[in-house]
Chain A
Amino acid sequence: MATHDELVEAVKFPFTARAKEIAEEAGFSFDNPNEVVLETAKMRVLSAVKPSVRFRLGESVSETGLVVELLSFPVAKIFVSLAHDYTLSKKFAQSESDRLRRNLQLSGDPSLYKKLAAEIGIKLVNGKVRFTDYLRALPNKKLVNTDMDGGFIPVDDALLVELIANTFKSRILSEHSKPTKLPKIFQIYTKEIKDEINVVSYEQDFGSLNVDAFPPCIKALIAEARSGKDMPHQNRFVLSTFLVNVGMPTEQIVKVFSATPNFNQKKTRYYVEYSAGKKGSNVKYTPPSCKKMQYYGLCRNKDSLCQRVGHPLSYYAMKKKSSGGVR
């Protein structure tokens, strides 16, 4: 049995071998999952997206409470993985890594940093790390300003905390393993999480625009942009011109693309402004007609209104009129 201190440490640093051992001993059953754990895991995921959801670790005094907190981590990862939403994955990884950083800083214990660095796979040699480990954890921190020699970079306590927290983040992002057979309850929880998130992000991204009136092809493209998969140039262009034409502000359009891989805010903004005719040729582009969309293979999920229009923008105009304009 784990001692109370061990349990608290496992809750705070769930990636250690000991934490995994304790979690295993606790005997969480995927076939017959404990609802309290599921509920806690859901809150854990939502806390990454909604500032109003508070989730703090290590606040339980009882051992049962601590075990629930510990188990909520792997379950939360499963929910995120089932959601297939890259923005959510990124936000979840970020919030877990922030939480870890805070806990490391609060402990203020350099010997703990060293132990955890080793556990998470950061090789420290005489207080230095390989530049490749550094770059993998901190790809945007200026390598040019380090005292690198022979490929090794000296590491102080503050940098070590950063390295651990960021390695943890990229590890969460790259992990995809989950039990192959999960009972339906996991899907139900994931759906609940997704529904709550969608309400949040539509409010953030589209303001008072009537998103419901968008044609199905455009809705499909938005889903594609959010899925985190690479988006072909053609698809980006169609989506961006459509959004420009319905009057969405540039900043919001840029945001729509923020989940795509290699997202570059500056480039995307230029690109959106280009299709809006504010940059380059000064031509305001319109999205392709339905006929062209079919030709590109982008006409998706056709509905009854689609039969009556020849252009995605006419679809929007008609639908908006019939639904009374503003939502």
Chain B
Amino acid sequence: MNQDFIYRKFRDYYSRVEVKAPSQIEQREFGVGKDKKIDSRHLMFKSQDKLNFYLRSAVPFYISYSAAYYEFPDARPMPNKHWLGSDLVFDLDTTDLDLSCDHPHDMVCKKCMRQITIECSRLVNQFLRKDFGFKKDKMRVVFSGNRGFHVHVFDDEVFDLSQEARREIVDYITAEGLKVTRRGEGKQVLGPKVGSSGWGGRIALVLQDSIENSANAKEFVRKTGIGMSRTISKIFKNKQNSLEALSTGVWSKAQLTEENWDGLVLEVARKLRVNLDRNVTADMARLMRLPGSLHGGTGLVACEIKDVRSFDAFSDPVVFGDETVATIGKKDMQFTLKGKDFEIEKEHKINLPEYAAVYAACKDLVNIIE
């Protein structure tokens, strides 16, 4: 019953909208699914018309397209597709965050979404724009339709980067393998100065700022959330020397050993890095949710976002109407959509507006009664 209901609603959606084709659609591979995200792949569509015709007639519950461009997108096995290049893609998902929310893994709350939004905004502004120098118009942020965001970079510069190169980019963003100190003459330990670029400069600046604005070690720990009390106490034993170490780049001026510094740097980096799904970026044949399509696990639309910070994941991607639908709860669960709270109770009848009914049916929280 639920499947039929979802199918009809999805079909209505696809018949009233025109889903925009991804750039160079004829070079992209598509994958579609009903029960799982991808039941079959190696599909291709030559034009936006053909894509929309397919969506209206086949009504997939999930549809994704390749970050890669191929000469023959529908050829198989993979090597026969003749890879031409790939967009650079990033996948941010609340499940990659270390959150202490008490709801089940497959649900999202406002807290999860707020955190993943901050991550996304940091990825775009601090890393992709500032460090990597990508122009704003070469990037696109897309709500995944469920628990996070996809960031696509379309730039001729990254088009043909190898898998190893893409891994290096992920390692940069996640601070994997970071080491900013080095040995100078004698027992000298050198590190980045405040004002230098890259990770080194970023860390020196944050440390300087936190030390300057904390009266003592306790306050530093409280403000930064870095719990290395022994190392922090050493810093505040001679605050002036510690600050001088950071402004001159001679880190041995502070009362810290190289190991102390390295440990502290990793702790700071852990706060400043972006947590993302490392495999997605390195996988050059990855299929990504098609913007404008519906997510079969939520009934929300995967939509392109102009401003991440003002995006409301519990309203903006809702595309269904208010007509009442009768349902029976399958489990106890609460969720919020379009500013309204819904409380589903197991084996209790509840009338839901269509948009909430679609969401609850996709999440398998209710049975539709018709």
Q: Cβ of A150 and Cβ of B130 under 8 Å apart?
A: yes
Complex interface: chain B residues within 8 A of A154 (CB): 197
- The smallest beta-carbon distance between A89 and chain B, in angstroms, is 17
Complex interface: chain A residues within 8 A of B199 (CB): 144-145
Q: Which B residues, 273 to 320, have Cβ-Cβ distances below 8 Å to chain A?
A: none
Inter-chain CA distance A151–B197, complex, in Å, is 11
Complex interface: chain A residues within 8 A of B180 (CB): 145
Interface contacts (Cβ under 8 Å), in number, total 74
Q: Which A residues, 143 to 202, have Cβ-Cβ distances below 8 Å to chain B?
A: 143-152, 154
| Nearest A residue (CB) for B167 | A139
Complex interface: chain A residues within 8 A of B134 (CB): 151
The interface stretch among A72-80, A130-138, A243-251 is: A130-138
| Nearest A residue (CB) for B128 | A151
Partner of B165, one of A139, A142, A146, A230: A139
Complex interface: chain A residues within 8 A of B179 (CB): 142, 145
- A152-B196 contact, Cβ under 8 Å, with A139-B165, A139-B168, A142-B177: no
Complex interface: chain B residues within 8 A of A62 (CB): none
Q: Cβ of B79 and Cβ of A230 under 8 Å apart?
A: yes
In the complex, A232 has a CB within 8 A of chain B = yes
- A148-B198 contact, Cβ under 8 Å, with A136-B165, A139-B164: yes
- The smallest beta-carbon distance between B189 and chain A, in angstroms, is 16
In the complex, B137 has a CB within 8 A of chain A = no
Q: Mark A190-227, 1 if CB is under 8 A from B, else 0.
A: 00000000000000000000000000000000000000
Complex interface: chain B residues within 8 A of A142 (CB): 168, 171, 177, 179
Inter-chain CA distance A141–B171, complex, in Å, is 11
In the complex, B71 has a CB within 8 A of chain A = no
In the complex, A262 has a CB within 8 A of chain B = yes
Complex interface: chain A residues within 8 A of B200 (CB): 147
Q: Mark B161-182, 1 if CB is under 8 A from A, else 0.
A: 1111100110110011111100
- Interface size range on B against A: 20 to 34
Q: Which B residues, 229 to 257, have Cβ-Cβ distances below 8 Å to chain A?
A: none
Q: Cβ of A150 and Cβ of B133 under 8 Å apart?
A: yes
In the complex, A140 has a CB within 8 A of chain B = yes
Q: Cβ of A149 and Cβ of B198 under 8 Å apart?
A: yes
- A135-B161 contact, Cβ under 8 Å, with A147-B198, A152-B133: yes
Inter-chain CA distance A142–B192, complex, in Å, is 16
Inter-chain CA distance A145–B171, complex, in Å, is 10
Q: Cβ of A144 and Cβ of B132 under 8 Å apart?
A: no
Inter-chain CA distance A106–B279, complex, in Å, is 42
Complex interface: chain B residues within 8 A of A131 (CB): 132-133
- The smallest beta-carbon distance between A277 and chain B, in angstroms, is 28
Q: Cβ of B171 and Cβ of A148 under 8 Å apart?
A: no
| Nearest A residue (CB) for B135 | A151
In the complex, B33 has a CB within 8 A of chain A = no
Q: Cβ of B131 and Cβ of A148 under 8 Å apart?
A: yes
Inter-chain CA distance A142–B200, complex, in Å, is 13
Q: Cβ of B131 and Cβ of A149 under 8 Å apart?
A: yes
| Nearest A residue (CB) for B134 | A151
Q: Cβ of A144 and Cβ of B163 under 8 Å apart?
A: no
Complex interface: chain A residues within 8 A of B168 (CB): 135, 139-144
- A145-B177 contact, Cβ under 8 Å, with A131-B132, A232-B77: yes
Complex interface: chain A residues within 8 A of B131 (CB): 148-151
Inter-chain CA distance A91–B44, complex, in Å, is 39
In the complex, B157 has a CB within 8 A of chain A = yes
Complex interface: chain A residues within 8 A of B22 (CB): none
Task: State the 4 A-B residue pairs at the shortest beta-carbon distance, nearest first.
Answer: A151-B133, A149-B197, A150-B133, A139-B164
Task: Provide a sorted-by-A list of 9 A–B residue pairs whose CB atoms are within 8 angstroms.
Answer: A131-B133, A132-B165, A142-B168, A142-B177, A144-B175, A146-B198, A147-B197, A148-B172, A232-B77
Question: Measuring CB to CB, which residues of chain A are less than 8 angstroms from any residue of chain B?
Answer: 130-132, 135-136, 139-152, 154, 230, 232, 262
